[in-house]
Amino acid sequence: MDAMSDLVGQYLRVRRALGYKLNNAEDILNRFVAYLEVRDADRVSVADAVGFATAPPARTARTQALRLSAVRCFTRWAHCQDPSIEVPPARLLPARPSRVAPYIYTAEQLDALLEATGRLQPPERAATYQTLIGLMAATGIRTGEAIGLDTSSFDPHAGILTVTGKYGKRRMLPLHSTVADALTGYLKQRRHLPGAHSDHALLVSTRGTRLHLSTVHATFRPLTAEAGLGTASSACRHRLHDLRHTFAVSTMLDAYRRGDDPAVVLPVLSTWLGHTEPRDTYWYLTGTAELLEAAATRLDTTDEERALT
């Protein structure tokens, strides 16, 4: 198993040199090596890979499929080093991707949420979380992207926000004047916080340090109850990330209502959200009643125009 551990280490180094993080894959592969060691396996077989993927505590089909996928990617590479290593066939454990139903906030609900956030204590904490929620709602950036912003990320004179997204890719977002003014006002308000001058973070805690993701989520959950937002169903609960979904839906809804061509708007929205391809943006376009109605109206109008020609 020492040789197998070495192969796993080589595989991770090669893949990471290509830009992959593989944090979850590393954990899975280390557990796979331990699984083989317990069974005193002298080589990697398809049966071993499937046995590991389906062993407890893999409670769901998706978890089993993800485990086997990580092992399969590794064995495809390792087979070139050692032909005795068997590669599991593709789709041996198929699983449909699971998706949490996004909660699409209305304008009234966002106002109620910001009002509830304004009641946090002390006032500096309220200002930080109001800025965080307002910025995510107005720009659709990811929670991690918002927390990762530095003071240098915001150019108040040009009204530009530079966001660092996945894989270190950067994009420059022109802000509406109200959003730029709100960020400028927040920066003035947080100047007296201890440590705020030494920390480069744009959004800071009451100690003047960068916000932590777990703390942000723990703060957000009670705010939805404080704002009186009920859950739509057991599969649709409030998440901070749903502000990104709401932004995408609202952008397309406004485009339909203005009579813009959605085929033109979608690539722009995709670039704004930091997606590589427009197909990644479809994930965020939840079929709300308003969006479907607007799409149907556009379709009817297009059919009428074709009939006249």
**pLDDT at residue number 285:** 81
Instruction: Look up tokens 């009234």; give the residue.
Output: 108
Two tokens, residue 47: 């049966």
164, β-bridge pairs: 170
Nearest to 93 by CA among 148, 47, 160, 36: 47
Task: Examine the pLDDT at 308 and tell me if it is beyond 60.
Answer: no
For tokens 């796979």, the residue is 32
Query: Which one is predicted more confidently, 76 or 305?
Result: 76
Phi, psi of 224, deg, nearest 5: -65, -35
Q: What is the pLDDT of residue 56?
A: 82
176 has catalytic annotation: no
For the segment 89-146, what is each residue's pLDDT rounded down to a tens digit? Answer: 988 887 766 667 788 999 999 999 999 999 999 999 999 999 999 999 999 999 999 9
Catalytic residue chosen out of the listed positions 13, 21, 91, 166 = 166
For residue 211, pLDDT beyond 90:
yes
pLDDT score, position 52: 93
Average pLDDT rounded to a whole number, residues 196-211: 83
Strands (E), 99-201: 154-155, 160-164, 170-174
Supply the pLDDT for residue 167: 78
Is 96 assigned a catalytic role? no
Residues 180/182/184/190 CA torsion (nearest 10 deg) = -150
pLDDT of 100: 73
Selecting among 72, 142, 238, 245, the annotated active-site residue is 142
Q: What share of the chain is helix, strand, coil (3-state, %, to 5)?
A: 60, 5, 35
Residue 232: is its pLDDT beyond 70?
A: no
Greatest CA separation for the chain: 76
Query: How is residue 307 written in tokens?
Result: 């009939």
Please check the confidence at residue 196 and state whether its pLDDT lies above 70: no
pLDDT at position 61 is 83
* Residues 297 and 256: beta-carbon distance below 8 Å: yes
- pLDDT band for 50, please (50, 70, 90 cuts): very high
Query: For position 96, what pLDDT does the model report?
Result: 65
Catalytic-residue membership of 241: yes
Long-range contact pairs involving 36-40 (C-beta distance under 8 Å, separation at least 24) = 36/1, 36/4, 37/1
Structural domain boundaries of the chain? Answer: 2-81, 107-226, 242-308
CA 286 to chain centre: 15
| Residue partners of 299: CB distance under 8 A and separation at least 6 | none
Handedness of CA 42, 48, 53, 58 (dihedral sign): negative
Please report the pLDDT score of residue 191 as a whole number: 79
Which range, 1-10, 184-193, 232-241, 247-256, has the best average confidence (pLDDT)?
A: 247-256
Q: Are 28 and 69 in contact (CB under 8 A)?
A: no
**Segment 245-297, tens digit of pLDDT:** 999 999 989 988 888 888 889 999 999 999 988 888 887 887 667 777 777 77
- The mean pLDDT value for 179-197 works out to 83
CATH code, residues 107-226: 1.10.443.10
- Whether 245 is catalytic is no
pLDDT exceeding 90 applies to what percent of the chain? 57
pLDDT number for residue 19: 83
Q: What's the pLDDT at 150?
A: 94
Active-site annotation holder among 31, 171, 239, 241: 241
Mean pLDDT of 191-211: 80
